[in-house]
Structure 1
Amino acid sequence: MRPFDARMLDVGDGHWIYVEEVGRRDGVPALFLHGGPGSGSQHLHRRLFDPERHHALLFDQRGAGRSHPYLSLQENTTQKLIADIEVIRTHFGIERWIVVGGSWGSTLAVAYAEAHPERVAALALRAVFLGTRREVEWAFVEGPKLFRPELYADFVGALPEAERADPLAAYLERLADPDPKVHRPAAEIWASYERALSELAPGQSRIAPSTGRSERLPPTPFVEGHYIRNDFFLQPDQLVREASKLRGIPGVIVQGRYDLLCPPHTAYALSEAWGNCRLEMLDRAGHAISEQGVMEALTRAIRELTDNA
């Protein structure tokens, strides 16, 4: 499916965001929120929507993808992204829409829905992440130690010995270093590590030593690091504590049983606090949308919510 229109929107603070429309302009409005933070919307994501039924909008968040300035961390916060979503909604004259998001996209979807519940007709979420420190510690340290110890050893072993006691802090500091000789290898290792953790059966289960000379710098680690250093600009347990605001919004959560980055207990906790949603657990899937059955289950969920919208 190709966009029938695309444009750059000025959202202020020096940021311009890329927004594309797929489906049909008179269709059921839907919004897709990509992960990362920093990864950008992909062609694959368009396939979640029915071109005959939906008016779907996909955009690249601040600093990501085709938005400008690229990789900018200035005025790049969760609250600013929520405001950007409202700019998009009002620009296109949409009253209410179905909001879809996975991983960090699920975080932003929940944060937006709690801020503007009257604008959300339904929520379709995948691989729930709620932006807490303990989730980050699990994803990058505790989980890999238990389930992918050889991968974790590679992640830690790429650091100088003096920095290995707290590898997460060391990588976050290196990603923020302005020197390319410092941040480039850190970004390459981080991206490889996260990619391997996102799949139930990764094609490459070890991390190759970084050369620091890749043609294209992986973008996600820099934006992701910025958000992690700032606790995703959320208060502790904010999204679960305020889940009562979601009670009037129907939803579906699609969750991989063996998701190491965003484990099932987080999706379960949200579903219990929310109450007005169905949790669909996929027993043979990890984190990525490309995992077995995930794309199909999320597409079905969107179709189901559209039928009831």
Structure 2
Amino acid sequence: MSSYEHSDPFDQGMLTVSSIHRLHYEQYGKPDGKPIVYLHGGPGGHTQKSNTSYFNPAIYRVVLLDQRGTGKSQPAPEIRENTTPNLVSDIEVLRVHLNIPKWHLVFGGSWGSTLALLYAQAYPDVVGSLLMCGIFTTRKSELDWFRGPTGATSVFPEAFEAFVNYLPPEERDDLTGNYYKRLTSDDHATRVAAAREWNRWDLSIGSLKTDESNFKQLDDEGWSVPHAVLEAHYGMNNFFLEDGQILKEENLAKIRHIPATIIQGRYDMVCPPQTAWELHKALPKSKMIWIPDAGHTPKEPGTQIKLLEACDAHASLDIEA
């Protein structure tokens, strides 16, 4: 199954959302089509035109936005006035700005799935359906899988040792905190060097089979520094959420009526598959799709195919305005 090709955006702009932040957004596809918002990963990722490839341009009106402090949004990187509630509110501000009565589909992968769930819980009446992959709900157990004593660190011990050993021995008991000090240093070279090593760990475990070409991103300061700075910023602040907040009964109850598709790589080393399964069991209108030969990244061949199929399936859903 081939992906979709879109023409250049039919609209783009900058939206002021605080005294500091202006968000960059772009719109693709059919101007009067079924509106979908694409929520990128991170924290600290950004959007690009290739993100539209899952969505049929003859059906969908595709909205991309760069979250606060990332991509073409300004200023970047910026951690002031940059919290999870801020990002969730921004999605709603953008919907109103674009005069979209209701999203036909809210699409999010990894950190984007976090925001998709939080946004749906905050604004359930304007979310028609959800499509999420690489599920992340910010629980301590999930973070322990990612950088703790079990999970990915035991599967990729040599990559994790390199990540740890970048810091001097006396600073290795608080990896996030001591990386964060370097990532927010006044010295540019210190920030860039720390960002390279922070992101190297992420890239080392993102795919079922490591693609060495992915590490070229480490040389792109425009990607590497915001990604590391904001990921560490959110990690230092427990993602500005209570532990387990998204999966609390009272919050899940708000979105049980929303059709959802959950796609998860069986061998995801970034976001433990257990979380996707727990979410699926809690949402009666969800469909669970396991990718047997995939890790975390949506670029895995099996994941890409299922995302395309799911987006086509969601296009046919009868969503009440």
Work out whether 1:33 is the aligned partner of 2:42: no
- Match in the other structure for 2:275: 266
Moved more, 82-91 or 279-288: 82-91
- Match in the other structure for 2:155: 147
- Match in the other structure for 1:196: 204
Q: Which aligned pairs between 1:154-303 and structure 2 lie closer than 5 A?
A: 154-204=162-212, 216=221, 218=224, 219-241=226-248, 242-303=251-312
Letter of the structure 1 residue corresponding to residue 66 of structure 2: D
Aligned 8 A contact 1:144 1:151 in 2 = no
Moved more, 65-74 or 176-185: 176-185
Aligned 8 A contact 1:140 1:168 in 2 = no
Report the 3-state secondary structure (helix = DSSP H, G, I; strand = E; otherwise coil) of the residue aligned with 1:285.
Answer: coil
Aligned 8 A contact 1:246 1:276 in 2 = no
Give how far 1:215 is off: 6.1
Q: Distance in 2 between matches of 1:156 and 1:299?
A: 38
Report the 3-state secondary structure (helix = DSSP H, G, I; strand = E; otherwise coil) of the residue aligned with 1:25.
Answer: coil
- Match in the other structure for 1:115: 122
Supply the RMSD in Å over aligned alpha carbons.
1.9
Match 1:3 to one of 9, 13, 27: 9
Structure 1 regions of 5+ residues with no counterpart?
none
Letter of the structure 2 residue corresponding to residue 279 of structure 1: M
Tell me: CA distance 1:13–1:274, structure 2 relative to 1, closer, same or farther (3 Å).
Answer: farther
Tell me: CA distance 1:261–1:215, structure 2 relative to 1, closer, same or farther (3 Å).
Answer: closer
Q: Distance in 1 between matches of 2:23 and 2:220?
A: 25
Letter of the structure 2 residue corresponding to residue 12 of structure 1: S
Q: Distance in 2 between matches of 1:258 and 1:3?
A: 35
Work out whether 1:57 is the aligned partner of 2:49: no
Letter of the structure 2 residue corresponding to residue 187 of structure 1: A
Deviations 1:93-145 (A, max 9, x none): 11111100000000000000000000100000010000122212211233233
Count of residues paired in the alignment: 304
Letter of the structure 1 residue corresponding to residue 46 of structure 2: G
Aligned 8 A contact 1:100 1:124 in 2 = yes
Q: Distance in 1 between matches of 2:198 and 2:134?
A: 20
Tell me: CA distance 1:177–1:263, structure 2 relative to 1, closer, same or farther (3 Å).
Answer: same
- Match in the other structure for 1:14: 20
Tell me: CA distance 1:150–1:62, structure 2 relative to 1, closer, same or farther (3 Å).
Answer: same
Aligned 8 A contact 2:34 2:60 in 1 = yes
Moved more, 37-46 or 53-62: 37-46
- Match in the other structure for 1:82: 88
Q: Which aligned pairs between 1:131-146 and structure 2 lie closer than 5 A?
A: 131-141=138-148, 142-146=150-154
Letter of the structure 2 residue corresponding to residue 138 of structure 1: W
Tell me: CA distance 1:151–1:75, structure 2 relative to 1, closer, same or farther (3 Å).
Answer: same
Tell me: CA distance 1:216–1:181, structure 2 relative to 1, closer, same or farther (3 Å).
Answer: closer
Deviations 1:46-78 (A, max 9, x none): 111111000110000000100001111111111
Aligned 8 A contact 2:43 2:234 in 1 = yes
Q: Distance in 1 between matches of 2:280 and 2:62?
A: 25
Letter of the structure 2 residue corresponding to residue 255 of structure 1: Q
TM-score by length of 1: 0.93
TM-score by length of 2: 0.90
Q: Distance in 2 between matches of 1:204 and 1:168?
A: 25
Q: Distance in 2 between matches of 1:181 and 1:7?
A: 32
